[in-house]
Structure 1
C-alpha cells in the first residue's frame, strides 16, 4: 500500500460494522453504523476512499474520535489482486512445500 486512511467515530454510541477484514471497498460505500443506546438517528459510516480493509474495531461501544477502520489505499488494484493471489496460494501450500526449508 502506498498510504492508508483511518475512519473515526463521529459520535459516541453502539458500533455496528458491516464489512469484514480484507474486504475491497469503494469510495462512499456504507461500511458501518453508530447508534445511540437511547434511540435517535443512526450515524452511517462510509468509506472515504477505495482500498482494502486492513483493520477494524471490534468493540461494540465507541467514543467520539475512536478509530473504527483502517483502509489501505493502492494505486493499481490489478497489481494488488495478482500479488494477493500469489500470497494466498503460498499460504495454502504451507511451509516446506515450495522446496524451501520451513521458517524457524
Structure 2
C-alpha cells in the first residue's frame, strides 16, 4: 500500500540534461542540485525545482519546494487530471494534511 516516492521527487545535478531524468515521471518535482563533490554526509544544495507533468517539464526554475508542490497541485486541478495510481496516497496526504483541501471543502 506504500507509494513509490522515487516517482514523485527526483534529483538531478545542475550540469546534467533534465530531460534525461523525467522519463516515467507522471507527476512530480525534479530537484536540481549543485554539481559539486561534498562529503558523504553533506546534504546537497538545491539550486531550484522543476515541475513535471506526464514526463514533460512544465514549469522550470522554481525557487523553493513548497512553491513547486503548490504549482503542481494548481496544474493538476486546473487541467482536471487524476492522480497517478502509484502516487494516490502521497497526493491525497499532501492534499488533505498540508494544503487543507478536503472533498467536503471543495464543493
Q: Same fold (TM over 0.5)?
A: no
Counting helix residues as a fraction of each chain, which structure ranks higher?
2
Q: What TM-score, normalized to structure 2?
A: 0.27
Counting strand residues as a fraction of each chain, which structure ranks higher?
1
Q: What TM-score, normalized to structure 1?
A: 0.28
